[in-house]
Amino acid sequence: MASNTETDDKQRDRKSAFRILIVEDEFVVANDLRIILERAGYVVVGIAASFEEADISVGQAAPDIVLLDIMLHGHKTGIDVANILKARNIPYVYLTANSNDTVLTAMKESNPQSVILKPFREKDVLVTFEMALYKHAHSVESALRRQQDLQMELLEIFTASRTWEQQLLSAAKTFQAHISFDFILLGISNAPDYHKLCGFNRIGAEEYQAIKVSDLPTMTSLPLSEILTALDSEIFRQGVFVSEDFQIMSRGKQFTFVLAKVFKFESALVYAFKLTQGGQFVMTFYSRNSSGYGASSLQQVKRLEQPLALALDRLLAFDEIEKLSEQLKQENRYLQEEVKTAANFDEIIGKSAPLKKVFDMVRQVSNTDTSVIILGESGTGKELIARSIHNSSARKGKILVKVNCATLPANLIESELFGHEKGAFTGAIDRRIGKFELAHGGSIFLDEIGELPTDLQAKLLRVLQEKEFERLGGKTTLKADVRIIAATNRDLEKEVSEGRFRLDLYYRLNVFPIKLPPLRERIEDIPLLANFFAKKFCTKVGKPFTNIGQGSMEELLRYDWPGNIRELENVVERAVIIHDGQSTLAWAQPLINRFAVPVVKEEHLRPVKTLQEVKQKQHDTEREYLISVLRTANGRIRGRNGASELLGLKPTTLESRMKKLNITKEDIFD
């Protein structure tokens, strides 16, 4: 019993927190509504019978929700009252005796929380009212999300590398989508920095006329000193000014008076906050609508103060920012020199048909942002091709960051890729940015991607899908504008089938595969490569280049090169080291095919796969892999140790894939 009483008390407290205004020109109907609502525990703050009374009551009583009759006596209707309520973000429920076109038009134009038809029952009123409050609560949640979006957009604008006026114009356009205006004054107000104030007059859907404060004396016939004084006094009186309040404000301040006279403004929203570096940041919105702004608009602007103050204080610390910027440029140049090599096609040695095919593929994919995976044996030059793709792309002005997934300790890979916050783990004595953050705007080369642990594969998949990540120990989501280039010498299809590589990540990476031919398949390139390396190392050690003897060259051509180009480079380097500088180059030791690759007879060579064959192979591989996982899970899809948990997929996603691949119970339990 005590529990029921406690629940009733909570319900009554919740209801009494809502202040209700009834706008209804029939006293009997209005009084019935008041009795129904007060009996249910709500607080009715007043009854208005006309537009004029409603306008006054909204300002004085500050209701949380309004019951509003559409058809009121007089020239103005409930729809006119709704416009005032919308400007102040006050929810309302329409009252009407009709369900005709008039009501439908009002619904379409005004978008109320709900409608109550006359005559009404007490139960209908209370249920409709509860639903209206619920709907409004969700609209408030949506408004908070929009507020967060506005904050993020403004922070991006004031941290971008653009002129101050360009930043203010972008901010004005961003504000327009959230707080509508016909004229906006933005910028920093103080005596030495009046040039940092700028107005924007909206003259079209996306067109704005920029008006600097230094231009105002010509427009207003007032001295600049008087304009600045008027601005300071006006900013000091912050808030929302509509109808008569705006008229009083504009009469008392010359600046607003002139603007209102020239541009026909009838309402304003004024807000400013102090900056650590000095001055105030001003946000003043003007509208030709007499009820253009409300308390919600003011609160929306107030919530911007803290994040904007931080961003603007950083922006104003000009000398420090300039030093840091130069330091970052130097570090960036250093990093680019460290990871960037001359990797143009003219400097990749070879002219064989297989290599030309690779060149064609690189040209096709370079100017896109498509993920690329480079396949091939160890030593075939995968990193060089990755750099060629980057340096031929639109991202060539940014950095290419290389990560060797095989050489990083498993416990440090996540920190290396995504960075960490101070104190994220033992030894994290400072914040560190990761490779993805460093590569922002450029490319990242994930070498030996097949060695990446499976738990990190899921996080990498998120970066590929959502373009975002968090630092280790951090709570802030960071954006990653990065082009992914991966490489591996493993057979990823086999890795997937054996459960060591995620199927979904494989498909994400395998958008544009480039297979590098081994050196034994491009024999005509061996003399070119050998001579290139010989000249390079002779120059390095200061010995004359005396050519490679015919017998030595034939020995190179007979060898199968299991280590590919890297092995050839090492063989030539050893020969140069022992070279006497007079005779032709000879190898330090005989080249014996200890790791000979079996020769496949021509009649057994399979023709090049068609696109349909490749798709079928992918289909069969995925089907076999899913069946094997389902068997491991004894056919269970959901729950602990179910197939969806083992695969890291949603159960619905797995069921959809099973249906598409035609996997039945017979396949699993066969």
Give the domain CATH number at 53: 3.40.50.2300
| Percentage of residues of the chain with pLDDT beyond 90 | 6
Please indicate, yes or no, whether residues 434 and 503 belong to a single structural domain of this protein. yes
Q: How far is C-alpha 101 from the chain's CA centre?
A: 44
Per-residue pLDDT, 342? 40
In terms of Cβ atoms closer than 10 Å to its own Cβ (0-12, 13-18, 19+), residue 174 is: middle
Residue 86 confidence (pLDDT): 77
Q: Which amino acid is at 339?
A: V
Ramachandran bin of 419, using left for φ above 0, alpha for ψ from -120 to 50, beta for the remaining angles: left
**Does residue 321 belong to any structural domain of this protein?**
no
Q: Contact at 8 Å (CB) between 253 and 288? A: no
Q: Check: CB of residue 371 under 8 Å from CB of residue 414.
A: no
Summarised one tens digit per residue, pLDDT across range 130-156 is 887 777 666 656 666 777 888 888 888
Q: Report the predicted TM-score, pTM, of the whole model to 2 decimal places.
A: 0.43
Residue 406 lies in a domain: yes
β strands within 380-532, DSSP E = 400-404, 419-420, 432-433, 443-447, 468-470, 477-479, 483-488, 512-515
| Model pLDDT, residue 256 | 73
DSSP secondary structure letters along 67-120: EEESS-SSSS-HHHHHHHHHHTT--EEEEES--SHHHHHHHHHH--SEEEESS-
End-to-end CA distance of the chain: 59
Question: Structural domain tally of the chain?
Answer: 5
Same domain, 416 and 495: yes
From residue 42, give the alpha-carbon distance in Å to each of 10, 13, 58, 148, 392.
13, 9, 17, 32, 69
Helix, strand, coil content of the chain in percent (nearest 5):
55, 15, 30
The values of phi and psi at residue 638, to 5°, are -100, 170
Q: How confident is the model at residue 513 (pLDDT cuts 50, 70, 90)?
A: very high
The last residue of a domain, from among 101, 136, 171:
136
350 and 497: one domain?
Answer: yes
* Band of residue 361 on the pLDDT scale cut at 50, 70, 90: very high
Q: Which helix (H) or strand (E) holds 439?
A: none
Q: Taking the CA of residue 155 as centre, how many other CA atoms within 13 Å lie in the half-sphere pointing to its CB?
A: 14
- 487 confidence band (pLDDT: 50, 70, 90): very high
**What's phi and psi for 407, nearest 5 deg?**
-100, -10
- Please report the pLDDT score of residue 488 as a whole number: 92
481: alpha, beta or left? (left if phi > 0; alpha if psi -120 to 50): beta
Asked if residue 108 has pLDDT above 60, the reply is no
Q: What pLDDT band is residue 547 in, cutting at 50, 70 and 90?
A: confident
User: Could you tell me which residue, 35 or 161, shows the higher pLDDT?
Assistant: 35
Q: Which secondary structure element, helix H or strand E, spans residue 45, and what is its range?
A: strand 43-48
- Assess contact for 79 and 86: CB atoms under 8 A: no
Same domain, 419 and 465: yes
Among the residue ranges 332-346, 371-385, 546-560, the one predicted with the least confidence is: 332-346
99-113, 281-295, 389-403, 585-599 — which one is most confidently predicted on average? Answer: 389-403
- Rounded to the nearest 5 degrees, what angle is found at the Cα of 587, between the Cα atoms of 583 and 591? 150
Residue 552 within any structural domain of the chain: yes
Question: What's the whole-number mean pLDDT along residues 460-489?
Answer: 85
DSSP 216-270: HHHHH---HHHHHHHHHHHHHS-EEEEHHHHHHHHHH-HHHHHHHHHH---EEEE
pLDDT at position 324 is: 54
* Ramachandran class of 606: left when φ > 0, alpha when ψ lies in -120 to 50, beta otherwise: beta
Task: Judge contact between 240 and 295, C-beta under 8 A.
Answer: yes
The pLDDT value given to residue 334: 43
CA 178 to chain CA centroid, Å, is 19
Mean pLDDT within 264-285: 85
Range of the domain at 78: 11-136
Q: Is the pLDDT of residue 566 over 80?
A: yes
Provide the pLDDT for residue 96: 82
Do residues 140 and 127 touch, judged by C-beta distance below 8 A?
no
CATH number at residue 395: 3.40.50.300
Residues contacting residue 259 through CB under 8 Å, at least 6 positions apart = 183, 265, 286
Mapping DSSP onto H, E and C, the string for 119-185 reads CCCHHHHHHHHHHHHHHHHHHHHHHHHHHHHHHHHHHHHHHCCCCHHHHHHHHHHHHHCCCCCCEEE
Three-state secondary structure call for residue 654: helix
- What is the pLDDT at residue 8? 55
Q: If pLDDT is split at 50, 70 and 90, which confidence band does 604 have? A: very low
pLDDT of amino acid 192: 53
Q: Are residues 356 and 438 in the same domain?
A: yes
- pLDDT band, residue 329 (cuts 50/70/90): low
521 in any annotated domain? no
Could you tell me if 271 and 149 are in contact, meaning their C-beta atoms sit under 8 angstroms apart? no
Q: Is residue 419 a part of any domain in this protein? A: yes
Say if residue 164 is in the same domain as residue 281.
yes
Between residues 34 and 319, the one the model is more confident about: 34
Residues 347 and 374 placed together within one structural domain of the fold: yes
Which percentage of the chain shows pLDDT scores above 70? 82
- Are the beta carbons of 36 and 128 closer than 8 angstroms? no
CATH number of the domain that 217 lies in? 3.30.450.40
Q: To the nearest whole number, what is the mean pLDDT of the chain?
A: 79
Q: Is the pLDDT of residue 227 over 60?
A: yes
Q: What is the mean pLDDT of residues 389-403?
A: 87
Neighbours of 118 (CB within 10 A): 12
